[in-house]
Amino acid sequence: MSILKNVKAKILTAALAAAMPVTLLFAGLPPLPAYASDPDPGTPHVVDWTITSSSSGSSQAQKELSQTVTVTVNFDEAVNFDEANLADDFVVKIYGDEIGTGLMTAMDLAANGTDGNNYMQFVISSNTSNSPPTTPFFGIRGGNLTIEPAAGTSIPSITAVVSPNDALAWDDETFKDQLIDTGVALTGSSATEAEGLTGSTLTVTVAAAPKIRGANWFKIRITPEVGAPYYDPDATTATSPSMLPTIPDVAEECFAVHSHSFYSMTPTSTAAAIASAITASSSGINGKYTASANGGVLTITQTSGFSDGQKIELVPYNYTLQP
């Protein structure tokens, strides 16, 4: 062998020897699993939802009978539905009572979905035109809505399009105590800063009255001069014990405005009801706020417990703000 060939052979041998440990190292690793970021590949999951309330008509009876709560639940992939068994695979409760039983006997439930879509809907509707004090009547009471599987931790009637043996994952914690949006809405919020002996004053307009009967929950949010906004834990009032013997845990630190007569409520009367709830006692909410209404415009003022630079805001509290 020539000197040149001998040198080339040694170089090649050295190169292969250097590469071999690296090659063996990677060859010894197991392959990465498919869907490494998904602990449950192929199984559909709930990602989010919306809850809307509505009623229509011109008469009290028409509005009573048209009260509806619509829940749209979105999934992370397309699914197919066994419509014949869909409703039976769920237990839907408001204020602790299953739809059609207890305090919810004036309600009907429908569950529906279309094959190939990545969402479904629950429609809770009134089956009576009765109004309080005549019973039964449609009312969401505390408004905390829970949707549970009838059994287990999945919904057999909802399966993945791409893998029909995989049922929708859903357990008792998936959709629990979500506060229903009653349709009440505010707009045009503007607040002054607290300074010295003068608290923050808020003006805000009621843009829409409640669409259904039940508790409308509100919180007062404080934005400090420095730091993150927070809800005032003292901005609470007692609610009607006859309609709400207990307050849902998720409505703590809220105060309630009851829309028993939702069919006749307007933005103006809703503003007056909010002001009345805030000033329910002689000193307002725990002595910290006063409120008045002029037309549909609310004025709320801090009276104690404030610090310089704070601003207040009135917030309709429902599922969209729940942690």
Q: What is the pLDDT of residues 82-120, one digit of tens each?
A: 999 999 999 999 999 999 999 999 999 999 999 999 999
pLDDT: which is higher, 9 or 257: 257
Q: What is the pLDDT of residues 252-265, one digit of tens each?
A: 889 999 999 999 99
pLDDT tier, 21 (very low <50, low <70, confident <90, very high otherwise): very low
Write the CA distances from 71 to 16, 29, 119, 198, 211, integer angstroms: 65, 47, 10, 43, 15
Q: What is the pLDDT of residue 237?
A: 73
Domain 185-321, classified CATH 1.10.3470, yes or no: no
Tell me the mean pLDDT in the region 182-193: 98
Q: What is the pLDDT of residues 225-253, one digit of tens each?
A: 999 999 999 888 766 667 788 889 999 88
Residue 121: name the closest of 154, 76, 90 by CA. Answer: 90
What is the pTM (predicted TM-score) of this model?
A: 0.85
Q: What is the pLDDT of residue 255?
A: 92
* Residues of the chain above pLDDT 90, percent: 78
C-alpha span between 274 and 292 (Å, rounded): 9
Q: What is the pLDDT of residues 144-161, one digit of tens each?
A: 999 999 999 999 999 999
Give the start-to-end residue ranges of the domains of the chain: 1-30, 46-179, 185-321
CA angle centred on 64, ends 103 and 49, rounded to 5°: 70
Q: What is the pLDDT of residue 287?
A: 80
Q: How many CB atoms lie within 10 A of CB 104?
A: 23
Q: What is the pLDDT of residues 82-91, one digit of tens each?
A: 999 999 999 9
Q: What is the pLDDT of residue 105?
A: 96
